């Protein structure tokens, strides 16, 4: 089966611009997670979807970040406007059920100039 | 609240030597514990997990970890390091109950294997 895929693999934008990251989970996986790793820090949870509903969004840093999962398939994470501290690697993960191990994508490396 | 501490951001071993990567956790409820590995320019790959049952867990690529509740530890070991084991390793914890599956990660340990 195809793994979790993320687009783009790299994105370089200027401060104040908008960027949208996409994640395609493994087919049939209802649970979708977003994580972020800022350079030099640990990987941190952002939010968790169950199908199209936000189950837990306690890790979203502020209202410049908007995550959607319309239709319960792929998900997007939009940053608007981007700030320097948003730079990092954004990982997406999915699992069939909430208590099963999560499968991770390769991540999107986001650089804000 | 839950947290994970990985002792040592960098560990260097010789090829064929024992690998020991340390992980200690804090959790107010029984935890599920995981080790993930990240090779350069790749995503995280699950090495092994502990949920319930046997406290010595075997994973892929010859790795194993032992859950020690009294020490709140979940150290990762491999008897003999191989060059291909060079990567970054992450210990993670999640709640064993409730409806959130979010993982709490440690800071990561980069393993260097010298020939």
Per-residue pLDDT of B54-74, as tens digits, reads 889 999 999 999 999 999 999
* CB crowding A41-75: b at 16 or more within 10 Å, else e: ebbbbbbbbbeeeebbeebbeeeebebebeeeebb
CA-CA distances (angstroms) from residue A10 to A36, A89, B11, B37?
Answer: 14, 9, 29, 21
Sequence length of chain B is: 115
* Separation in Å, CA of A16 to nearest CA in chain B: 27
pLDDT digit string, tens, across residues A6-30? 999 999 999 999 999 999 999 999 9
Give me the residue label for tokens 């049939």. A28
For residue B45, the model assigns a pLDDT of: 94
The answer, yes or no, to whether residue A97 has pLDDT greater than 90, is no
B-chain CB neighbours of A59 within 8 Å are: 102
CA-CA distances (angstroms) from residue B80 to A29, B60, B90?
Answer: 36, 14, 19
Supply angle C-alpha B44, A45, B21, rounded to 5: 45
A-chain CB neighbours of B46 within 8 Å are: 101-103
The size of the A-B interface in CB pairs under 8 A is: 57
CA trace torsion B106, A60, B30, B26 (10° rounding): 40
Out of A42, A45, A103, name the one closest to residue B102 (CB): A45
Helix (H) / strand (E) containing B39: none
Q: Does A1 touch chain B (CB under 8 A)?
A: no
Name the residue in chain B with its Cα closest to that of A32.
B101
CA distance B81 to B95: 31
For residue A70, the model assigns a pLDDT of: 85
Closest C-alpha to B81, from B6, B4, B10, B11: B11
Higher pLDDT, B41 or B94: B94
């Amino acid at each position: 089966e195809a793994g979790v895929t993320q687009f783009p693999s790299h994105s370089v934008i200027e401060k104040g611009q908008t960027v949208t990251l996409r994640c395609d989970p493994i087919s049939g996986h209802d649970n979708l997670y977003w994580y972020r790793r800022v350079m030099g820090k640990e990987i941190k949870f952002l939010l968790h979807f169950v199908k199209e509903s936000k189950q837990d969004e306690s890790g979203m840093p502020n209202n410049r970040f908007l995550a959607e999962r319309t239709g319960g398939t792929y998900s997007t994470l939009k940053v608007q406007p981007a700030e320097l501290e948003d730079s990092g690697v954004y990982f997406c993960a999915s699992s069939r059920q909430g208590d099963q191990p999560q499968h991770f994508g390769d991540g999107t490396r986001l650089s804000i100039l | 609240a839950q947290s994970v501490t990985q002792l040592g951001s960098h560990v260097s071993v010789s090829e064929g030597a024992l690998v020991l990567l340390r992980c200690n956790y804090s959790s107010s409820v029984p935890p599920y514990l995981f080790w993930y590995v990240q090779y350069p320019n790749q995503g995280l790959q699950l090495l092994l997990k502990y949920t319930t049952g046997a406290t010595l867990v075997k994973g892929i690529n010859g790795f194993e970890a032992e859950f020690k509740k009294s020490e709140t530890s979940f150290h990762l070991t491999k008897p003999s390091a191989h060059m291909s084991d060079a990567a970054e390793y992450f210990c993670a914890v999640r709640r064993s109950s409730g409806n959130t599956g979010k993982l709490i990660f440690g800071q990561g340990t980069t393993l260097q294997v010298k020939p």
